[in-house]
Structure 1
Amino acid sequence: MARIGIFFGTDTGNTRKIAKQIKRKFDDDTMAKPLNVNRATVEDFMSYDFLILGTPTLGEGELPGLASEAQEESWLEFLPQLEDQDFSGKTIALYGLGDQITYPTEFVNGIFHLHEFFTERGATCIGNFPTEGFGHEFSMAEVDGEFLGLALDLDNESALTDERLAKWLDLIAADMGLPALAA
């Protein structure tokens, strides 16, 4: 079995696209095939000590799910299944997608919501990413000049995605036992 699980919630498919992009950088022994949380079980999720979790931010800074007008069930429906789980000893890296121009005061708030949920249950979250170069006004996911995970804006800065993703994967590599990526 792979050592790292990668799970995502999505609405338009962009978060899935990033999950697949991450997976392509690693072999099957290192990282499992990405799995949408609307198809995941608690057992799938809990079988990994290392997790990479992705989410878009919808509406007024919400996680995706039916209540936030996503097209399918997602994080809002899956997280309640995990409420009683103990994440002590698990290491989690988060990435989030947002639109800093259209939603400058809710940019990647989904990262914050996942970070809060999992750290309250004992997880260690890694992979804070610098806010330098972003044009948002406010984000709940910003603490001391860093996002609580990788922030991506595919709507306005898609040309920066590969560079930001490579930088983030290098940041989390040692904590997850990942090999360094070739430059």
Structure 2
Amino acid sequence: MSKIGIFFGTDTGSTRLVAKKIFGFLGEELADKPKNINRVTADELLSYDALILGTPSYGIGDLPGLAAGCQERSWQEFVPQLKGADLSGKRIALFGLGHQERYASRFASSLIQLYRIFYGYGADIVGRWSTEGYTFEHSDSVIDNQFVGLVLDQRGQPHLTDERINAWLAQITPQLLPVLAEAA
């Protein structure tokens, strides 16, 4: 049986820490160690049939990367490598970080960029997350009153992170495992 691939973009390290938590909860039997998107190739990411992808929020819904003010390359620089890729048959769950008080008018809006990119290449996106328990004015990452993936506020609600990750993993793991079984 194949494993779940966990990839993340980060600048300050918060998304990396969340990716490590997700890996810790899943365990090495289900997932491979998380990898920073600036250290992998498209072929490496595409070798997985089940993926968990994470991003922090930058600017007004920008993908993180050098043009968005990050110190290192990130999703902005990685995405062009996917040009022409066919992700049909791949199942992807997304998570994003944001600060709901400081950026209430654009809370976690970078997550929608990953959603649009991977959905546009044919991936099956799973793991929508309720907006309940958050206080914000607007997020581009909300479709039909749900976030397109797990959203965490490591600054305003760090005490809820583990609980939210566990609940989300309970939701998405049964959706990711059948894809792994089919790939084996």
Q: Which runs of 4+ in 1 moved over 2 A?
A: 26-29
Instruction: Tell me which of the two structures has the higher relative contact order, counting C-alpha pairs closer than 8 angstroms and 6 or more residues apart.
Output: 2
Residue in 1 aligned with 2:28? 28
Matched, 1:93 2:93: yes
Q: Which has the higher helix share?
A: 2
The 3-state SS of whatever aligns with 1:170 is: helix
TM-score by structure 1 length?
A: 0.94
- 1:111-156 C-alpha deviation (Å, 9 max, x unpaired): 1000000111100000000001100110111012210000000010
Residue in 2 aligned with 1:40? 40
**Equivalences for residues 3-152 of structure 1 within 5 A:** 3-152=3-152
Q: Is the 8 A contact 2:60 2:110 kept in 1?
A: no
- 1:82-123 C-alpha deviation (Å, 9 max, x unpaired): 121110000000000001111111111121000000111100
Alpha-carbon distance in 2 for matches of 1:32, 1:2? 9
Structure 1: unaligned runs, 5 residues or longer:
179-183
Residue in 1 aligned with 2:181? none
Letter in 2 for 1:159: H
The 3-state SS of whatever aligns with 1:105 is: helix
1:26 Cα shift?
A: 2.6
Q: Is the 8 A contact 2:128 2:146 kept in 1?
A: yes
Letter in 2 for 1:104: A
Letter in 1 for 2:127: G
Q: Is the 8 A contact 1:15 1:97 kept in 2?
A: yes
Q: Is the 8 A contact 1:105 1:139 kept in 2?
A: yes
1:29 Cα shift?
A: 3.2
Alpha-carbon distance in 1 for matches of 2:53, 2:134? 21
Alpha-carbon distance in 1 for matches of 2:32, 2:131? 29
Alpha-carbon distance in 2 for matches of 1:50, 1:110? 21
Structure 2: unaligned runs, 5 residues or longer:
179-184
1:28 Cα shift?
A: 2.5
Q: Is the 8 A contact 1:2 1:29 kept in 2?
A: no
Residue in 1 aligned with 2:159? 159
The 3-state SS of whatever aligns with 1:53 is: strand
